[in-house]
């Protein structure tokens, strides 16, 4: 991490302590949880804090008064008994102290290290003391009083456990300068305008219903966008020599135990028990076991490899209700998945091929993206030597393709293998995790996958698990916000709308509509008895790319008056000419 990132993270972490001090002064009876720095800011959890958003300015002002006093942050290391005296009235801190001194692993956000058992690190700032290992700023003069803002209140279970008490979490934004904060607040304001849930409702794309929580219902127009994305994806797979498989969405639990998902992913899965024979099944949280069963169904030779199985599989994963969020976090989705079975000497060429496919799929959307190496997590499966081998192979490929222009996500790999992850950047500068290329030596061993090599000997293949859009649902949500609902022509649910000026022009409008539809252009005809001005405004609000006005002149000339989204009035145009323009733009995917 760069020194600049270290500096702002330290400021944000220090602000979480200052906020806790301010809240404790204003609400003396609160019980303190934890308060880490996070992306763009910080938070702190409190028990017994009953406040609303209207109370945040008061807490902010108290924080600024603390900052103006130029209070120093002082670190001390004390014994367990001393710490228990200091935090005698703070049950959550006592719990952390007890776990620390027993040498148990705590979350990073607690900011204490189990290796320091029986030595407790605390920080004192003015009259406030907190359990923490730091680091912190030297004094509050390092913080610009106008460069932070408390942003929202939320509920959060203690230690993320829904069986534990629900605490009040207060979030704040923080930057080094007031300008950075102002820029970020403008970005948030723009992001709220682009909220895919609001745009999705406005454009009649999708909805959610309590009968299927976290599972989107796509309306006719939304289904068009969804299917166009899937069609584009399928065409790209065929160009790269993938074959399609289609596997059941429900499999016996035994296969999930064999794959390792039972041990590493069980809490995120849905299970079904058959009423008659008590046999237990699970809805698939991932597609890989199905692809493996297809591979193992018949003997394989080295001549068959690499085998590339693509499957836009239906995935179901259990999420807490508070974590669901529009199309970004759902419980059921279609993942643009693929699994590649190959010999070890094919790893480099296959991964480089997937990287080219990533480029092909992302390019039409105008999204920037960056690759990251995600390494072995603590909760991993299999032989560590194979993990090291896989990480070394991915590092070599990343350096060859990107030089030093890739990032590192330590301990963020899948439980069965390290991976290359891609983060997309949208027009607001926000980043989204989408594509992943996972190199897996472990699961083929678990399922005894084999092929016969050129010497007639049985060998174990290596697997690549890969997805590029991530899921069609989430990718669609990203695109809605990236384009603010104004999809490129090839994705637009309605590509053109015919707007007759009066009732006398409706018959000709129908002729134009028929010609467009005959050429596979998604078009509609507005027959409402409204002024042409209102029809144009409504069509523009629906983000339709081409508005085709027809009146007396157009009827006589067999033309249309074209208004193009973002370009304005394009003048009169022959229908055949317009059709050629639209078809070329769709084909080019510009």
Helices (H) and strands (E) in the chain, counts: 18, 28
How far apart CA 244 and CA 237 sit, in angstroms, is: 9
- Is the CB of residue 206 less than 8 Å from the CB of residue 217? yes
Q: Is 235 in contact with 357 (CB distance < 8 Å)? A: no
d(CA 48, CA 543): 47
The CA-based angle 100-105-109, given to 5 degrees, is 90
- Report long-range pairs for 419-423 (Cβ below 8 Å, ≥24 apart): 419/373, 419/374, 419/394, 420/351, 420/355, 420/371, 420/372, 420/373, 420/374, 420/394, 421/371, 421/372, 421/373, 421/374, 422/358, 422/362, 422/369, 422/370, 422/371, 422/372, 423/369, 423/370, 423/372
DSSP character string of 426-455: -TTS-EEEEEEEEEESSHHHHTT--EE-TT
Q: Give residue for tokens 């009649």.
A: 204
Residue 45 · residue 33 · CB < 8 Å? yes
- Burial level of 126, CB count in 10 A (0-12/13-18/19+)? middle
Dihedral in degrees, nearest 10, Cα atoms 524, 525, 530, 534: 40
User: Which H or E run includes 167?
Assistant: strand 166-174
Give the other-Cβ count within 10 Å of 578's Cβ: 22
Interatomic CA distance for residues 286 and 335, integer angstroms: 9
441 contacts: CB under 8 Å, gap ≥ 6: 382, 383, 386, 387, 389, 390, 417, 462, 463
Active site residues: 288, 317, 335, 337, 339, 419, 465
Torsion sign (Cα): 569, 570, 572, 576: negative
In sequence order, which residues have a C-beta less than 8 Å from that of residue 450 and are 6 or more positions away?
300, 458, 459, 460, 461
Alpha-carbon gap, residue 223 to 221, rounded angstroms: 5
Strands 307-316 and 243-244: parallel
Q: Which helix (H) or strand (E) holds 46?
A: strand 41-47
Report the C-alpha gap between 171 and 154 in whole angstroms: 8
> What is the rounded distance in angstroms from the CA atom of residue 92 to the CA atom of residue 32?
7
Name, in order, each residue with C-beta under 8 angstroms of 134's C-beta and a sequence gap of 6 or more. Answer: 13, 73, 75, 111, 121, 123
* DSSP for residue 165: P
CA distance 61 to 145: 9
């Amino acid at each position: 991490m760069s020194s600049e990132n270290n500096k702002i993270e330290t400021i944000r972490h220090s602000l979480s302590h200052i906020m806790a001090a301010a809240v404790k002064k204003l609400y003396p009876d609160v019980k303190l949880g934890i308060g880490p720095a996070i992306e763009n800011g910080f938070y702190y959890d409190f028990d017994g804090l009953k406040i609303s958003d209207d109370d945040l300015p008061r807490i902010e002002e108290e924080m600024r008064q603390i900052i103006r006093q130029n209070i120093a942050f002082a670190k001390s290391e004390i014994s367990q008994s001393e710490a228990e005296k200091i935090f005698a009235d703070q049950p959550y801190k006592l719990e952390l102290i007890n776990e620390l001194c027993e040498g148990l692993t705590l979350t990073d956000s607690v900011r204490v290290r189990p290796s320091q058992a029986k030595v407790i690190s605390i920080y004192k700032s003015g009259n406030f003391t907190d359990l923490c290992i730091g680091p912190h700023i030297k004094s509050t003069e390092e913080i610009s009083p106008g460069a932070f803002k408390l942003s929202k209140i939320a509920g959060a279970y203690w230690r993320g456990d829904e069986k534990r008490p629900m605490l009040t979490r207060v979030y704040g934004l923080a930057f080094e300068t007031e300008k950075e904060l102002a820029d970020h607040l403008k970005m948030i304001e723009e992001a709220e305008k682009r909220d895919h849930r609001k745009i999705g409702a406005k454009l009649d794309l999708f909805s959610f219903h309590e009968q299927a929580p976290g599972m989107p219902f796509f309306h006719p127009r939304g289904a068009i966008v969804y299917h166009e994305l899937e069609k584009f994806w399928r065409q790209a797979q065929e160009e790269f020599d993938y074959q399609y498989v289609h596997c059941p969405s429900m499999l016996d639990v035994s296969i999930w135990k064999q794959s390792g998902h039972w041990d590493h992913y069980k809490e995120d899965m849905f299970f079904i028990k058959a009423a008659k024979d008590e046999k237990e099944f699970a809805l698939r949280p991932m597609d890989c076991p199905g692809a493996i069963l297809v591979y193992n169904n018949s003997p394989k030779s080295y001549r068959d490899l690499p085998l590339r199985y693509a499957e836009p599989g239906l995935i179901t994963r259990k999420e807490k209700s508070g974590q669901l969020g529009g199309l970004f976090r759902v419980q059921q989705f279609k993942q643009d998945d693929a699994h590649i079975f190959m010999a070890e000497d094919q790893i480099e060429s296959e991964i480089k091929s997937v990287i080219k496919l990533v480029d092909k799929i992302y390019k039409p959307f105008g999204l920037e993206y960056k690759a990251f190496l995600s390494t072995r997590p603590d909760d991993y499966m299999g032989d560590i030597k194979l993990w090291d081998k896989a990480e070394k192979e991915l590092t070599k490929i990343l350096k060859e393709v990107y030089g030093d222009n890739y990032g590192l996500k330590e301990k963020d790999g899948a439980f069965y293998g390290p991976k290359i992850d891609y983060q997309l950047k949208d027009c607001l500068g926000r980043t989204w995790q989408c594509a992943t290329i996972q190199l897996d030596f472990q699961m083929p061993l678990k399922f005894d996958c084999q092929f016969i090599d050129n010497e007639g000997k049985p060998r174990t293949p290596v697997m690549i698990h890969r997805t590029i859009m991530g899921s069609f649902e989430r990718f669609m949500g990203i695109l809605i916000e990236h384009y603010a609902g104004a999809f490129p022509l090839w994705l637009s649910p309605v590509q053109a709308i015919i707007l007759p000026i009066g009732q006398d022009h409706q018959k000709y409008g129908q002729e134009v509509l028929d010609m467009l539809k005959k050429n596979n252009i998604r078009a509609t005809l507005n027959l409402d008895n409204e002024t042409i001005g209102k029809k144009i405004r409504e069509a523009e609000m629906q983000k339709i790319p081409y508005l085709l006005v027809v009146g007396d002149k157009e009827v006589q000339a067999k033309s249309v008056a074209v208004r193009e989204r973002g370009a304005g009035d394009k003048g009169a145009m022959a229908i055949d000419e317009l059709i050629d323009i639209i078809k070329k733009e769709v084909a080019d995917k510009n």
